[in-house]
Structure 1
Amino acid sequence: MDAGFCPSCGASFKTERAQVIVVTTPTVPGYQIVKVLGTVHGLTVRTRGIGGKIVAGIEGMFGGEVTSYSSEAEKARRDSLERLIEKAAKMGANAVVGADFETSDILQGTATLFSAYGTAVVIEPIKK
């Protein structure tokens, strides 16, 4: 089940993606920050079902990457970033600077919290 769709009818919850530049640096090259709107974050929590644990256990016995977890982690990272962008746009931002990601095990290790965060800002091109 994709969190971006209604589980009953399958309709998309997502609207056209907001045009928000997201960078890990404190500034955006070629732009100046004209207004700082504050911190912004996007979160998602993913549980580890019994099937995923079994597959991960089997993959883990042979060493190397646990692809079932890697795939889910990548989806969760994308979802947290999309939520960050949506919240920043609602604040009136056209950029997020200092963006970073963090993960934490919660619920006694049965779920993982994925967080994207940064500072929502308004930027404009530097006039020459």
Structure 2
Amino acid sequence: MAETCVICGKEKKIMMADFPLSEEDKEERICPTCNRRLKNMLQTRDPGVFRQEQNYFQSMFYQSQPSDHAKEMLETYFEIGKSFTGEASLDQLVRKETLKQKREEETAFEEALGSFMITTESGFEGYRIKRYLDVIFEDGILGTGLSLSFKGLAGLFASSKEGNQEIEALIGELKKTMKTRLLHQAFQLGANAIIGLDYGTAITEQASTLLVSAKGTAVEIEPLL
């Protein structure tokens, strides 16, 4: 845990307790005072109280050095707070804005899928790789419901025709889900293609589960002139 409050810089040794910066970030910690005032700013519908708490946190930008994450979060609150009238709390406005952004991102993602390209090879004919962005991974665990007393995948799929078909179908569905997650990762990186897509499958015999992995490289491609 942090040794100081990531907003006001108060040292942990003189803090009676500490609290997570947000629901999403439980690693960075804040002091009781910042926690109380942050809740006030998020939950109040009184414009006077809201401005008072906002001014307190704005002053932290000059009196202390908030962490990058804390600064980014507060700046987001300040921006959304410009529309604060008291009809809804800042917390409600933030949740509404977050939902709006997610919908916009999903719409943009769905539109991008129409031209997104994927290959198991190292490139695409007629295209050049403009940027290599990152190697991306996804892992999944599938319970087979079987007692795996044999060795390897060959033994698994030789167990019975019915069991074979069921497990193949489950693996296929898991691979589809993992592929969609890889596409999301690539899209968020600014890619328009994935190269070197590869799946791996392994058995954890004692746990009667299958481990399925997927990886690829997110890239930006453009047509050859």
The question of a shared fold, defined as TM-score above 0.5 by the shorter chain, is answered with yes
Match of 1:69 in 2: 167
- Report the equivalent of 2:132: 36
Secondary structure at the aligned position of 2:177 is classed as helix
Question: Pick from 161, 175, 178: which aligns with 1:80?
Answer: 178
User: What is the 5 A alignment of 1:1-128?
Assistant: 15=106, 17=110, 18-19=112-113, 20-49=116-145, 53=146, 60=159, 66-106=164-204, 108-127=206-225
Q: Give secondary structure in 2 for the equivalent of 1:123.
A: strand
Q: What is the rounded CA distance, in whole Å, between the counterparts of 1:75 and 1:118 in structure 2?
A: 18
TM-score between both structures, scaled by the size of structure 2: 0.42
Looking at structure 1, the residues matched to 125 and 163 of structure 2 have their Cα atoms a distance apart, in angstroms, of: 36
**How far is 1:81 from its partner?**
1.1
Ranges of 4+ aligned residues in structure 1 off by more than 4 Å = none
Name the CA distance, whole Å, in 2 between partners of 1:67 and 1:107.
20
Task: Indicate the SS of the match to 1:29.
Answer: coil
For 1:83 and 1:106, how far apart are their aligned partners in 2? 23
Greater share of residues in strand: 1
Deviation at 1:73, TM superposition (A): 1.0
The percent of aligned pairs where both chains have the same amino acid is: 26
More helix by proportion, 1 or 2?
A: 2
Alpha-carbon distance, 1:42 to partner:
2.2
TM-score (norm 1): 0.70
| Unaligned residue ranges in structure 2 (runs of 5+) | 1-105, 148-155
Q: Secondary structure at the match of 1:87?
A: helix
Show structure 1 runs of 5+ residues with no match: 1-14
Count of residues paired in the alignment: 106
What is the letter of the counterpart of residue 81 of structure 1? K
RMSD: 2.6
**Bigger mean CA offset, 63-72 vs 109-118:** 63-72
What CA deviation, in whole Å up to 9, does each residue of 1:25-81 have, x standing for no partner?
1111111100000201222211123xxx39xx9x945x5871111111111111111
Q: Which has the higher contact order (CA 8 A, sep 6+)?
A: 1
The structure with the largest alpha-carbon Rg is 2
